[in-house]
Amino acid sequence: MAKPGSAARVERSGPKMVAGAGARALDRIIHERLRLGIVGALSVNETLTFKELKKILGTTDGNLSVHARKLEEAGYVDCEKKFEGRLPRTEYRLTSAGRAAFENYLTHMEALIRAARQG
Amino acid sequence: MAAVRPIRPIAPEPIGLHTQAMDNLRFIRSTMESAGSFTAVPGRGGMLMGVTALVAAIAAHLSPTPRAWLAVWMSEAVLALAIGLVFSWRKASRNSTPLLSKPFRRFVLALAPSVFAGALLTFSLYFEGVRQLIPAMWLLLYGAGVTSGGAFSVRVVPVMGLSFLALGSVAAIAPAVWADPLLAAGFGGLHILFGLVIARRYGG
């Protein structure tokens, strides 16, 4: 089994696909559970702050920032850091590439289920 | 003689791809639903409800009879309900979520009993001749409903509910001439203020 860190090294160069996972390749960036959650949550919100995402996904600061960074590097989310008074506020937004990748992923999952039902 | 055991433990049945796919879709749906609580309440709709409430407050204030006063506010309530529904639907379609998503259903179910009680009490108080209590009752019951509905949403929604409760408490002890200004401040001012916050921070 691959260590979590090894996946990060592979993904740094951009979106990668998992071969042989079905009729088409799966988008590995989105396939990871927490990143799927981030993209899913952002798909129904124009923007979400770091704190809001953390609350929705019930995860830790470190875990969320690592996975959000991977999505950012892949060009799937935009991250904007600003200040509200003296408090820093990090806002995430799904990019058009991220939305397209999410829709592709959903289509892929649905296709897998349909294929299993027909077979 | 000892039982023969395989050296390598028997591996569990591999999970089918379609089972994983269904599990992933369930996870996505539940995440989108819990994240949807951030968007279920329409901010722009709230702002428009606030504007119509300000117009209604002026019209009600100029009404010649209590009956006309009540008719203005009842019309405003129906209009506000329609605005709320249309803007919730628009917001849900813009975010590609069903209008009756779990967070929205929870909000409506928490608000509905207060609205129902408010409608019933309005007619009771009106026909019993205790009309001066109606504005406070409206603000308090709406505040109670929004506060309960907001328990499942972002913090700004229950804060809006609590603000209505505070204003309702003032209305309960204020002289009757303050009724329309207080209703304008609540259904007009608070809706515009909190609607603006929700529209800017929570996707419209």
In sequence order, the 6+-apart residues with CB closer than 8 A to the CB of B119 are B77
Query: Average pLDDT by consecutive 10-residue portion of chain A (119 residues)?
Result: 38 48 67 93 86 91 95 95 86 92 88 78
Structure tokens at B77: 């309530």
pLDDT at A3: 40
The yes-or-no verdict on residue B66 having pLDDT over 80 is yes
Q: Do A36 and B95 touch (CB under 8 A)?
A: no
pLDDT at A21: 44
Q: Do A46 and B16 touch (CB under 8 A)?
A: no
pLDDT at B70: 95
Q: How confident is the model at residue B96 (pLDDT cuts 50, 70, 90)?
A: low
pLDDT at B81: 92
Minimal CA separation from A43 to chain B, in Å: 7
Query: Closest to A40 (Cβ–Cβ): which among B18, B31, B38?
Result: B31
Contact yes or no for A66/B56 (Cβ under 8 A): no
A64 in reach of chain B (CB within 8 A): no
Please name the residue of chain B whose CA is at the shortest distance from the CA of residue A116.
Answer: B18
The CATH number of the structural domain formed by A30-112 is 1.10.10.10
Express each pLDDT in B5-33 by its tens digit. 666 666 655 567 778 888 888 888 778 76
Q: Do A113 and B31 touch (CB under 8 A)?
A: no
Interior angle at CA A74, CA A69 and CA A77, nearest 5: 65
The yes-or-no verdict on residue B164 having pLDDT over 80 is yes
SS (H, E, C) B24-36: HHHHHHHHHHHHH
